[in-house]
Amino acid sequence: MAGLGIFSYLRGLSRTTKIVLVLALVVILACIIGVSVGVTKHKKSSNRIATFDDNYNITWAPDHFSIINNGELVGIMLDKVSGAGFGSINRYLYGNITMQIKLVANDSAGTVTAYYLSSLIDTRDEFDFEFLGNTSGQPYILQTNVYVNGVGGREQRIFLWFDPTADFHTYSVLWNQHQVIFNVDDVPIRVFRNNTALGVPYAYDQGVGIYSSIWNGEQWATRGGLEKINWTYAPFTASYQGFGIDACVFTGTPDSCLTGKNWWDQDKYQTLTSDQLGKVSWVKQNYMIYNYCTDSARYTPPLPECGSNP
């Protein structure tokens, strides 16, 4: 009934009055839209993309860096003079630590692009991604390794199933008190579980920095050092973006990162899902070219974790 009363009221108004009312409504709507847009802009500015300077410092050869778009994109270069590298401002203990990388294109044989987490002490904990360059047209090799208390020797190598030089891909380490998962995009390629019950040390109390570098590895990296760097393709550039870090900042003691309240500590991240297990198996069956667990010349019997890790 109230709506009918309003319509009756409007019918009784003059044409001029109706026009004035319509114009007033237009102004009110414009103000509302303006406020909405302003709120949206404010939200976007508060959720800005993390830049290089937010979380990282140059540690090696600043003249071999290119920093683009106010630090949202960074390139590091290798030439005959030098390689280059960077590291995180803080150290971290547990979290999901990621980087988007586009690797060196063309003939990159002999070059090594490393992305790794390390406590950088003699008894270090460390998780490595090492991208071994190739001759043009050959697949990139990704080598991973795990150090605990300074002991490594846990290399695995796979071929990447895509061209990592054509676009950015996400390389990440999900690390908690139960397992370390190496991921390429959304595909887990390797798992190192907490096997302290088997007498295997686990990385649980050393804060690690996040590092990346590009360097000359021609003595060993491609076909055991048979392929040397073709310097006519220099400078060799690896590109990076996505500098946000979702991890617990290490303040000197592990207590603040051992609360169990972070998202990566929740039950569903303590083991692999059936889908993740299937992906790990897919990578091993189709792309793995070396696994320390099956290298009987080095380890007989295999190390204890080999029977537990997927």
What share of the chain has pLDDT > 70, as a percent?
85
Q: What is the DSSP letter of 208?
A: B
Q: Are residues 42 and 88 in the same domain?
A: no
User: Is the pLDDT assigned to residue 280 strictly greater than 60?
Assistant: yes
Domain total in the chain: 2
- Tens of pLDDT, residue by residue over 187-227, are 999 999 999 999 999 999 999 999 999 999 998 888 788 88
Q: Are residues 301 and 166 in the same domain?
A: yes
Is 227 a known active-site residue? no
Q: Are residues 26 and 58 in the same domain?
A: no
- Tens of pLDDT, residue by residue over 51-75, are 999 999 999 999 999 999 999 999 9
Q: Are residues 170 and 206 in the same domain?
A: yes
Q: Are residues 85 and 231 in the same domain?
A: yes
User: Is the pLDDT assigned to residue 45 strictly greater than 50?
Assistant: no
- Tens of pLDDT, residue by residue over 239-278, are 999 999 999 999 999 999 999 999 999 999 999 999 999 9
Q: Which of 240, 216, 265 is nearest to 112 (CA)?
A: 216
Distances in Å between the Cα of 159 and the Cα atoms of 109, 143, 169 are 14, 9, 15
Q: Are residues 164 and 82 in the same domain?
A: yes
Q: What is the DSSP letter of 303?
A: P
* Least trusted range by pLDDT, from 2-6, 196-200, 229-233: 2-6
Long-range contacts of 280-285 (CB under 8 A, 24+ apart): 280/188, 280/189, 280/190, 280/191, 280/310, 281/310, 282/187, 283/158, 283/187, 283/188, 283/189
Is 126 a known active-site residue? yes
Q: Are residues 158 and 13 in the same domain?
A: no
pLDDT score of 138: 87
Q: What is the CA radius of gyration of the chain?
A: 27
What's 219's domain CATH number?
2.60.120.200
Show the domain range for 80.
Answer: 52-307
Q: Are residues 241 and 299 in the same domain?
A: yes
Q: Are residues 36 and 104 in the same domain?
A: no
Of 130, 218, 227, 305, the catalytic one is: 130
pLDDT score of 38: 37
pLDDT score of 22: 43
User: Is the pLDDT assigned to residue 152 strictly greater than 90?
Assistant: yes
Q: Could you tell me where the beta strands, DSSP code E, fall in the chain?
A: 56-60, 65-68, 73-78, 84-88, 92-102, 111-118, 126-132, 141-147, 156-159, 169-175, 179-184, 187-193, 209-216, 236-241, 246-249, 288-291
The residues near 143 (Cβ < 8 Å, ≥ 6 apart) are: 128, 129, 130, 131, 132, 155, 156, 157
What is the average pLDDT value for the chain, to the nearest integer?
88
User: Helix, strand, coil shares of the chain as percentages rounded to 5?
Assistant: 30, 35, 35
Q: Are residues 131 and 9 in the same domain?
A: no
pLDDT score of 187: 98
Q: Are residues 40 and 59 in the same domain?
A: no
Of 72, 126, 218, 227, the catalytic one is: 126
Q: Which of 119, 153, 124, 160 is nearest to 139 (CA)?
A: 160
Which of 46, 62, 79 is where one domain is finished? 46
- Tens of pLDDT, residue by residue over 22-43, are 445 444 444 433 433 333 333 3
Q: Are residues 174 and 299 in the same domain?
A: yes
